[in-house]
């Protein structure tokens, strides 16, 4: 049963896509999914990867880097949509993920957030990109939902206005978004408990012990003077 506190505000979902083409099918798929999520009642935002520098080439203070990180912190769940290129995700999407750190001081931009993964292919259906995205989601300590979307021959699956044609592929996108919406609500008030780790508690206790020792040394030093 979902507690009433889960409905305090709409689920906040961030969409990332992996192509800069004018008619980007990974972006069109993400936009279709976003419309579906809004229909469920979620609040959605997009990050435009245009002009995001290559990871490590500029300081973290760069405006596009800060925009991406702030959106990641804002989100409760994310959707990653990538074309499959040379049997894997594109560098454009990987670059976005690379810029999101596991921690920013006490803030973790991705840990405990839900994630849905999608891909588009120019040919027959494949799952190489979503398999990679699932691995990345795990490394980013996200709750990647079981369902996923892979759209084959994507150039056939969208109308001229960018909306997705009615098909089994679109039905799967609806299934994936519905599952993401539900998981985001279910996990919302349980994230702190689920991400509380023994190793991190141990490290924190050790740091606190060092602080107490240093404080005691300073007090003794002041007394001796």
Band of residue 194 on the pLDDT scale cut at 50, 70, 90: confident
Question: Are 167 and 225 contained in the same domain?
Answer: no
pLDDT in tens, 44-75: 999 999 999 999 999 999 999 999 999 999 99
From residue 132, alpha-carbon distances to 26, 59, 103, 125, 146 in Å are: 15, 27, 22, 15, 14
Residues 115, 214, single domain; the answer is no
Q: How many folded domains does the chain comprise?
A: 2
Chain segment 119-146, per-residue pLDDT in tens: 999 999 999 999 999 999 999 999 999 9
The CATH number linked to 59 is 3.40.50.360
Residues 122 and 220 in one domain: no
- In a 3-state reduction of DSSP, which class is residue 79? strand
Same domain, 112 and 208: no
> Cα–Cα distances in Å, from 182 out to 12, 161, 218?
12, 29, 52
User: Are residue 134 and residue 220 in the same domain, yes or no?
Assistant: no
The pLDDT score that the predictor gives to residue 6 is 57
Clarify whether residues 126 and 212 are in a common domain.
Answer: no
Q: Are 188 and 79 within one domain? A: yes
**9 and 74 co-located in one domain:** yes
Please indicate, yes or no, whether residues 170 and 208 belong to a single structural domain of this protein: no
22 plus 119 within the same structural domain: yes
- Domain, as residue range, for 145: 4-194
158 and 221 part of one domain? no
Average pLDDT over residues 172-178: 98
Contact 102, 141 (CB under 8 A): yes
């Amino acid at each position: 049963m979902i507690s009433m506190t889960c409905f305090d505000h709409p689920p906040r979902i961030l969409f990332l896509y992996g192509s800069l083409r004018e008619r980007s099918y990974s972006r069109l798929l993400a936009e279709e999914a976003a419309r579906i999520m809004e229909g469920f009642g979620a609040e959605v935002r997009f990050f435009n990867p245009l002009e995001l520098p290559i990871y490590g080439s500029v300081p973290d203070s760069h405006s596009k880097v800060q925009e991406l990180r702030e959106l990641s912190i804002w989100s409760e769940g994310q959707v990653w949509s990538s074309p499959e290129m040379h049997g894997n995700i594109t560098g454009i999407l990987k670059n976005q993920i690379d810029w999101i750190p596991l921690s920013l001081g006490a803030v973790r931009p991705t840990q405990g957030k839900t994630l849905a993964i999608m891909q588009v292919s120019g040919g027959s259906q494949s799952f190489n990109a979503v398999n990679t995205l699932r691995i990345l989601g795990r490394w980013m300590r996200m709750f990647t939902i079981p369902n996923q979307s892979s759209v084959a021959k994507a150039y056939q699956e969208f109308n001229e206005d960018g909306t997705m044609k009615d098909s089994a592929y679109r039905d799967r996108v609806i299934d994936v978004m519905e599952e993401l919406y539900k998981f985001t609500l279910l996990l919302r008030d349980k994230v702190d408990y689920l991400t509380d780790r023994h190793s991190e508690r141990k490290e924190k206790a050790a740091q606190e012990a060092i602080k107490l020792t240093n404080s005691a040394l300073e007090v003794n030093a002041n007394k001796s003077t």
